[in-house]
């Protein structure tokens, strides 16, 4: 018995089911199987004269049969003395036909037990089997199709769920980018206003303070000198806020030269006041030399070093390390301070976000811009009560050449996803 598809093609070896044949004979039947078109012809008008009920009996004694059929049969298992009028080359087959006329398979019978040719009467029991077998095959296929459909629906549901998650993630990212873009636009507008409307008054105040200091310094008492110093410090701080705003909201120009971690850290240490209760361990190296804008990297080192000191109000240790990894130099700023919560980490690179009473929240976002402008990356790992580690990875040889000016575009959206697995 052979199971066929709607084109009467036998698709796979498992579709051929036999009884009484060896594996070699089953293999032979598969290799010599007839295409669907041949079976359509065998069930067509040309073979109508060979019909016995639902079966088709083609006796080898018929010259027409001998002319048309010469291969594809298996040798008879009957002994010559057991054959009456059955010829081993005779063909007896029938379609497994459903009530709607569709054919789902073919039954072929060889080697009748009595060695006789089939008759209409002898085939009646087999005809009952034909219909039952066709229905059973169709039911099995329907069950299989139902199972396949269920599996496909489940797989589709999983894919749909994944697509919904991905789309939701994209929408959240797009919303965050829109909010950040609006924030940056506001920062740019604010920076322009401050740069224009406040710089001039600050310049006037600074000039007035310088005049008072140079003209009346000797006549001022201690309180007056202290107030004059407060004015000068406030002017410097206000100028720093203006510079940070302008620095963050405009393109950055990088002047690349050769430098090394130890040189930059030495300059940064001279810019940051280190309290006596804070110990600094310098584990940087003079190698490798790498291409960078020394002033911008000094800003990065200074900011990270100052943040590490601020994170240890009761004292502690900050360790600065450098090492070469492949084509990059890796810089680590490690403190054993108060650490940061996930909420703080999620907003760490966002402009105007700060946990300090005195600050505008531009230090780390500017550091990020400087590092990424060099083609590098900056990341942080932190645990509350155990400290933080900021890691800067910079390429040793960026695409730009020495002394070439590089312009870094406006900052892109910064979201919490950039932190990755930042909390241990």
* DSSP for 12-43, written as a single string: SGGGB--SS--HHHHHHHHHTPPPHHHHHHHT
**Bridge-partner residues for 411, per DSSP?**
none
Distance from CA of residue 205 to its chain's centroid?
Answer: 55
Among 52, 85, 118, give the residue marking a domain's end. Answer: 118
Share of the chain above pLDDT 90, in %: 9
Examine the pLDDT at 329 and tell me if it is beyond 90.
yes
Instruction: Give residue 27's pLDDT band: very low, low, confident or very high (50, 70, 90).
Output: confident
Considering only residues 288 and 359, tell me which one the structure prediction assigns the higher pLDDT: 288
Poorest-confidence range of 132-141, 248-257, 307-316, 370-379?
248-257
Length of the chain: 424
The two most distant CA atoms of the chain are separated, in Å, by 144
For residue range 34-52, what is the model confidence (pLDDT) as tens digits?
A: 888 888 888 889 899 999 8
Mean pLDDT to the nearest integer, 324-332: 91
* pLDDT score, position 17: 78
Domain with 233 in it? 172-249
Residues 343 and 384 in one domain: yes
Instruction: Give residue 394's pLDDT band: very low, low, confident or very high (50, 70, 90).
Output: very high
Residues 390 and 343 in one domain: yes
Residues 262 and 244 in one domain: no
Q: Over the Cα atoms of the chain, what is R_g?
A: 44
* pLDDT score, position 414: 39
Residues 264 and 340 in one domain: yes
Q: How far apart are CA 102 and CA 134, in angstroms?
A: 9
Structural domain count of the chain? 3
Instruction: Confirm whether pTM is higher than 0.85.
Output: no
Q: How far apart are CA 357 and CA 307, in angstroms?
A: 13
User: Does 424 fall in a domain?
Assistant: no
* pLDDT score, position 197: 67
Please choose, from the candidates 194, 171, 190, the residue with its C-alpha nearest in 3D space to the C-alpha of residue 182: 190
User: Does 308 fall in a domain?
Assistant: yes
Please choose, from the candidates 266, 416, 282, 259, the residue with its C-alpha nearest in 3D space to the C-alpha of residue 350: 416
State the angle between helix axes of 363-373 and 222-249 in degrees (0 to 180), rounded to the nearest 10: 40
Q: How far apart are CA 80 and CA 87, in angstroms?
A: 9
Residues 274 and 351 in one domain: yes
Examine the pLDDT at 410 and tell me if it is beyond 70.
no
Residues 13 and 112 in one domain: yes
Examine the pLDDT at 89 and tell me if it is beyond 70.
yes
């Amino acid at each position: 018995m052979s199971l066929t598809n709607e084109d009467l093609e036998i698709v796979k070896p498992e579709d051929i089911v036999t009884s009484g044949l060896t594996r070699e004979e089953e293999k032979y039947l598969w290799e010599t199987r007839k295409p669907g078109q041949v079976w359509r012809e065998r069930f067509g008008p040309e073979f109508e004269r060979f019909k016995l009920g639902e079966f088709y009996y083609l006796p080898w004694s018929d010259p027409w049969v001998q002319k048309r059929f010469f291969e594809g049969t298996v040798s008879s298992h009957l002994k010559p003395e057991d054959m009456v009028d059955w010829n081993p080359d005779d063909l007896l087959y029938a379609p497994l036909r459903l009530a709607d006329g569709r054919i789902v398979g073919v039954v072929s019978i060889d080697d009748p037990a009595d060695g006789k040719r089939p008759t209409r009467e002898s085939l009646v029991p087999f005809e009952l089997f034909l219909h039952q077998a066709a229905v059973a095959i169709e039911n099995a296929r329907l069950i299989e199709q139902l199972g396949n459909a269920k599996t496909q629906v489940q797989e589709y549901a999983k894919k749909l769920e994944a697509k919904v998650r991905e789309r939701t993630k994209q929408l959240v990212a797009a919303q965050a980018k829109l909010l950040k873009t609006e924030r940056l636009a506001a920062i740019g507008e604010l920076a322009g206003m401050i740069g224009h409307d406040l710089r001039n008054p600050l310049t006037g105040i600074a000039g007035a303070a310088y005049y008072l200091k140079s003209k009346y310094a000797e006549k001022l008492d201690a309180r007056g000198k202290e107030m004059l110093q407060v004015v000068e410090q406030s002017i410097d701080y206000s100028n720093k806020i203006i510079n940070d705003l302008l620095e963050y909201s405009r393109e950055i120009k990088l002047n690349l030269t050769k430098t090394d971690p130890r040189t930059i850290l030495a300059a940064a240490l001279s810019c940051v006041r280190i309290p006596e209760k804070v110990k600094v361990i310098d584990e940087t190296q003079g190698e490798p030399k790498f291409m960078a804008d020394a002033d911008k990297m000094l800003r990065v080192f200074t900011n990270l070093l100052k943040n590490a000191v601020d994170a240890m109000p009761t004292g502690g240790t900050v360790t600065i390390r450098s090492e070469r990894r492949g084509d990059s130099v890796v810089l680590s700023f490690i403190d054993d301070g108060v650490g940061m919560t996930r909420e703080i980490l999620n907003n760490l690179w966002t402009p105007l976000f700060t946990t300090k009473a005195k600050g505008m929240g531009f230090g780390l976002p500017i550091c990020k811009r400087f590092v990424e402008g060099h083609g590098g990356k900056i990341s942080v790992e932190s645990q509350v009560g155990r400290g933080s580690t900021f890691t800067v990875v910079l390429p040793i040889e960026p695409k730009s050449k020495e002394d070439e000016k590089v312009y870094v575009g406006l900052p892109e959206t910064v979201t919490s996803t950039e932190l990755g697995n930042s909390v241990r």
